[in-house]
Amino acid sequence: MSETIFTNGVKAESPLALSIATPFFRNDPSELLDILSNQMAGEAVELIMVDDGSGDPSVTAKLEATLHSLNVPASLITLHANQGRSAARNRLIAAAKAPFILFLDSDMAPDAPSFVSDWLQLARDPATEIAYGGFSTLQVPDCAALALAKMVAEKSDCASAGERQSRGALAVATSNLLVRKTILDDTPFDAGFSGWGWEDVDWALRADAKGHAVRHVDIPATHLGLDDAATLLDKFAKAGPNFRKMVERHPSMAALPGTKLAQTLARVPGRAMIKSVLKALVLSEALPLAIRSQGARLWRALWAADALR
């Protein structure tokens, strides 16, 4: 894998407890760096970023300058070609020096000033193996372009720790996920997933099958990288093949309401026409958000149904 590595040369004052690992592609994670830098001073933390082939020297230069100004160990690994979400995370695992890795997506924003210290406390707990902090829309601006994605996220992803715990590994995302490094060394991400979606749940289910239970906690961060309605629908459509792979690999997927809906829709004729009507409905800002949100869920299930067939 062709890459360039930049390190800021800072040595940890005490043994590292946590590696904050952030992959990104064609976006600028400087806003997240600014937030983290205000929380990491004096902590036993290192920061690792992987640029998964963005090919933007201006962002690289900006990030190197920012990392150089930090007083915690920090590095930027720039991949010269896009490797995909799973491969980028596996590269972060290989680079991490602390016993715990916190995967934090570049479009996330911690919701509390105690975010890093809260994760450090969990990383120092001998009982911790895997912990998912959840995400919110607390800091998402109110605007028409993001309103649909915000509602979809709030209905499907923004759940409390108690609600998520009942779903276990099925409620995991790598956007804000703490994992003991030895578990990741033994169970890396599957680089066979391509496109968008499901590689994080696949990893969590495989880890769970090896006896590494997920602990759900409330240490949320806001997902600032919400998509406009058209982009959201496009991602849902492209997730179909990965969804099929998940259903074939993991029997527990059969219990999900989305799986049951997709299996039912797979027997319905005229799905192409239904999708055409649904797309127009979902993209219409004149309709109530609740109706558009239900339409987006049905759209996703129709593409999943196509994949299952």
CA separation for the pair 178, 21 (Å, rounded) = 10
Q: Rounded to an integer, what is the distance from CA 19 to the centroid of its chain?
A: 16
Q: Are residues 221 and 232 in the same domain?
A: no
- Write out the two tokens for 114: 């105690």
Entry pTM: 0.94
Strand, helix or coil at 73? Answer: coil
Q: Give the structural domain span for 308.
A: 228-309
**Domain co-membership, 254 together with 130:** no
The bridge status of strand 130-132 relative to strand 176-180 is: antiparallel
Domain C-terminal end among 186, 210, 226: 226
> Tokens 């590269």 map to which residue?
91
pLDDT along the chain (309 residues), means of 10: 91 91 94 90 91 94 93 94 94 97 97 96 96 96 93 92 94 96 97 86 96 96 94 94 93 89 94 95 96 95 93
CA 158/CA 162 separation, integer angstroms: 12
Domain-ending residue, one of 193, 226, 259: 226
